[in-house]
Amino acid sequence: MTATLERTEPGRTAPARSRRARRKRLQVIAFMSPWIIGFSLFFAYPLLATGYFSFTSYDLLSPPDWVGLRNYAYLLFGDPVVRIAAANTLWLVLVLTVLRVVFALGVAAVIARLRRGVGLVRTLCYLPALAPPVAATLAFTFLFNPGTGPVNGLLRTLGIDGPLWFNDPAWAKPALTLLTLWGCGELMIIMLAALLDVPQELHEAAALDGAGPIGRFWHVTLPSIAPVLLFGVVNSIIFSLQYFTQALVAGAVASGQAEVVGSSKVVGFPDNATLTFPAWLYQQGFHYYNMGYAATMAVVLFVFSLGFTALLIRRMRGGTNAEEVA
């Protein structure tokens, strides 16, 4: 029996392999082309254009005029309103981050201990998160109406004079905080999943060692859900940095001029108490047409958001590596 071996020529095999490899790369690029096109059009180009416009004076009508770092200098030292907007956003970041995480964890802990009606309670607590932000803000503004709202009506029956809520500079941000807590069902679901994933054996071992409910929660539950808590903190910080729709709609409705949302007369009502950094950015870009300065504010906001996101990824990777080592 004889076998015939095909003669291979090095000079012809290499080009064939090269063609197969090139064809495979083209197939991969073809499958990824929808993502590449979407990423380029809706993220990469707007990001690069925003960075370029931040160094220009641009009003959408005239060609951009290069001004260097003048917009950044005006943002840091010349714009008095942006300091108010930044202070309001910082207030929301500090208060909303703490209360949102604690409230979501508290509701999730209560639901995790229920024995009956868990599905109904969980659904009722999650439903507000499905409401569109504009509709939810409109409903909340009418509920907290100082004169005709049911909240102040209930307080009056208890002999308490309710505050002016969205019409009072001192109560506008706390009212926005209540609105945000009402709609934090998504974070509550994530917390609930983390709580239910804590091994029951750890609780039983801690109970045998004499730990009470508070001790088990502090020494067993919290360390077990630490990565989820970290995610909740960073997620809440980014959410607060981008706080826009609720503040804009609440201020406009409370001012009684909801038909002109975006007007300088109602943004930040009352007395700039609801003027957030993104709202002032919107005002600069789409009301005053200072697109160059608005791009500068967008870059600064992006840098802060990117910093917190990088912190989240770094801490999550650190936690994962620590678990693998353990």
Domain spans in the chain, listed from the N-terminal domain onward: 89-291
pLDDT band of residue 86 (cuts 50, 70, 90) is very high
Confidence of residue 9 (pLDDT cuts 50, 70, 90): low
Task: List the Cα angle 68/69/73 in 5-degree steps.
Answer: 150
Are 162 and 156 in contact by the 8 Å Cβ rule? The answer is yes
pLDDT, tens digit, 9 for 90 and up, residues 12-69: 567 788 888 889 999 999 999 999 999 999 999 999 999 999 999 998 888 999 999 9
pLDDT at 268 over 90: no
Quickly list DSSP for 84-149: HHHHHHHHHHHHHHHHHHHHHHHHHHHHHH--SSHHHHHHHHHGGGGS-HHHHHHHHHHHT-TTT-
Residue 256 has what pLDDT? 77
pLDDT tens, residue by residue, 146-179: 888 899 999 999 988 889 999 899 999 999 999 9
**Does the pLDDT value for residue 109 go beyond 70?**
yes
**Mean pLDDT, the chain, as a whole number?**
87
Confidence check: pLDDT of 108 > 80: yes
Residues contacting residue 82 through CB under 8 Å, at least 6 positions apart? 75, 277, 280, 297
pLDDT for res 12: 57
The whole-angstrom separation of Cα 84 and Cα 61 is 29
Q: What pLDDT is recorded for position 72?
A: 95
**What dotted CATH number matches 89-291?**
1.10.3720.10
Cα diameter, the chain: 108
Percent helix / strand / coil, the chain, rounded to 5:
75, 0, 25
Q: What is the pLDDT of residues 183-199, one digit of tens each?
A: 899 999 999 999 999 99
Torsion of Cα atoms, 203 then 207 then 213 then 218, to 10°: -60
Place of tokens 């930044």: 86
For residues 117 and 230, the answer to whether their CB atoms sit within 8 Å is no
